[in-house]
Structure 1
Amino acid sequence: MLTDLFSPTVQHSLDLAGIFVFAISGALLGVRKNFDVFGMAVLAEVTALGGGLFRDLIIGAVPPAAFTDLGYFLTPLLATVIVFFLHPEVERITKAVNVFDAAGLGLFCVAGTVKAYDHGLGLTFAATLGLATAVGGGVLRDVLAHEVPSLLRWDRDLYAVPAMVGSTMAALLIRYGELNAQTSMVPALTAFALRLMAMRYHWRAPRAWHRRSAATEGPDGT
């Protein structure tokens, strides 16, 4: 199977690393929203596991991995504890957290595409679920926190596009029979690099042409 690209230990370690950095971002949003520790934990769990949970339910991989591996469940709680006690310090290294978040984005978009394909989806839909795996948790996090999801806002640096590129590249490698442990890092690193460049240069998706006003708008369009 294509999911056997890495040894189980390496794959598990990569999954936990991605889950941890996603959970940090969820817990930090809980702090900014003045949530209590339970609310922080919920946002951490949802951010870290939401995309993979959605993918597994769609492809019928039940029970989802989030409910069969205790490490998947406990890692976001560890991130919550760290943020609960050390959030000022964590906020000060936000740039470093964002770098690791970008790495998680790259890993998850490829892993999601491969797993979806292994469960019988066509390449287009496998790539779509790869994208959902990478960004789905962030969307759920923002919805629960009463925020417009970041990937829908024009005033945020590109996030979904790098994951989309990575998922598409992974699907093309599968299509031509070239996906292995080494080549799988190409789409992951591409998504990672694109996300870093978007943060560095503030790349954003274009808005509709011929808009009536060039004035800055808020998230609600006002």
Structure 2
Amino acid sequence: MIDWLHWLNLAGVAVCAISGTLMAYQKRMDGFGVVVLASVTAIGGGTLRDMVLDLPVFWVADTDYLYTTLIAAFIPVVWLRISPRFPFHYLLIADAFGLALFNVVGIEKTLANDGGMAVAIAMGTITGVFGGLLRDVICREVPLVLSGELYAITCIVGGFAYALCYHLALATELCAIISLATTVVLRLAAMRWHWQLPVFHSETT
């Protein structure tokens, strides 16, 4: 269980660091900006989760996450040096997988520390969306979580999928895989067909 959670968390950190690096490239940031944006995207959500749950912050307790962030941030830098025509829709795809991975990590870490399922779903959503929210705010973009297109909702639906599998007494790994697939598929479908929540605006605009 612990090893599974550790590797899942490392995968989420790596994918989100790549997402942050691609955004930094798009915004023409310098090397320090790349590191900052990759780091806040990769570890921001988990940091808030651990603080709320009153647990040791995961990247402070285990520096593997910092090394993973730096290595993952370096990969697209090398790629873009070789081939600057990087298809930036991959940024949103990377973000979708990072969202789903962190959602599962947040759920499982909360349950492993005796949190209830409702709290676990909330912590999964926070873990998934907060790093991307910080990234978008730093880049002066409207955060994806606030833009109307299904984003945080995909984490919540993925959380309910995990809860259903959990109450059916399925194996932890299977619960995680089904939740992960549900979140990714729903997020990618929302991107493809522009599924959105109703947007709050004036009718006279």
Same fold (TM > 0.5): yes
- Change in Cα spacing, 1:53 to 1:93, as seen in structure 2 (3 Å) is same
- Whether the 8 Å CA contact 2:22–2:91 is kept in 1: the answer is no
Structure 1, gaps ≥5 residues long:
216-222
Structure 2 residue corresponding to 1:169, chosen from 157, 161, 179: 161
**1:131-151: CA deviation from partner (whole Å, max 9, x where unpaired):** 011111001112222332121
Query: Paired residue for 2:130?
Result: 136
Q: Which stretch of the first structure deviates more once superposed, 16-25 or 174-183?
A: 174-183
- Change in Cα spacing, 1:142 to 1:99, as seen in structure 2 (3 Å) is closer
Distance across 1 between alignment mates of 2:14 and 2:33: 17
**1:2-43: CA deviation from partner (whole Å, max 9, x where unpaired):** xx1xx71x5433322221121111112222222211111011
- Whether the 8 Å CA contact 2:121–2:160 is kept in 1: the answer is yes
Distance across 2 between alignment mates of 1:13 and 1:27: 21
Query: Paired residue for 1:188?
Result: 180
**Percent of residue pairs identical:** 36
- Whether the 8 Å CA contact 1:123–1:175 is kept in 2: the answer is no
Moved over 6 A (4+): none
Distance across 2 between alignment mates of 1:101 and 1:91: 19
- Whether the 8 Å CA contact 2:40–2:134 is kept in 1: the answer is yes
Check if 1:70 corresponds to 2:52.
no
Once superposed, what is the RMSD of the aligned Cα atoms? 2.4
- Change in Cα spacing, 1:136 to 1:75, as seen in structure 2 (3 Å) is same
Query: Paired residue for 2:77?
Result: 84
Distance across 1 between alignment mates of 2:85 and 2:107: 32
Q: Offset of 1:109 from its aligned partner? A: 0.9
- Whether the 8 Å CA contact 2:150–2:187 is kept in 1: the answer is yes
Opposite residue 199 of structure 2, the aligned amino acid is: R
TM-score after normalising by structure 1:
0.80
Q: Secondary structure at the match of 2:172?
A: coil
TM-score after normalising by structure 2:
0.86
Structure 2, gaps ≥5 residues long:
none
Structure with the largest fraction of helix: 2
Q: Secondary structure at the match of 1:92?
A: coil
**1:96-143: CA deviation from partner (whole Å, max 9, x where unpaired):** 454343223222212211211222322222211110111110011122
Matched residue pairs, number? 204
Q: Which stretch of the first structure deviates more once superposed, 162-171 or 125-134?
A: 162-171
Structure 1 residue corresponding to 2:95, chosen from 93, 101, 104: 101
Q: Secondary structure at the match of 1:205?
A: coil
Query: Paired residue for 1:218?
Result: none
- Change in Cα spacing, 1:93 to 1:14, as seen in structure 2 (3 Å) is farther
**1:184-204: CA deviation from partner (whole Å, max 9, x where unpaired):** 311111111101111111212
Distance across 1 between alignment mates of 2:42 and 2:85: 18
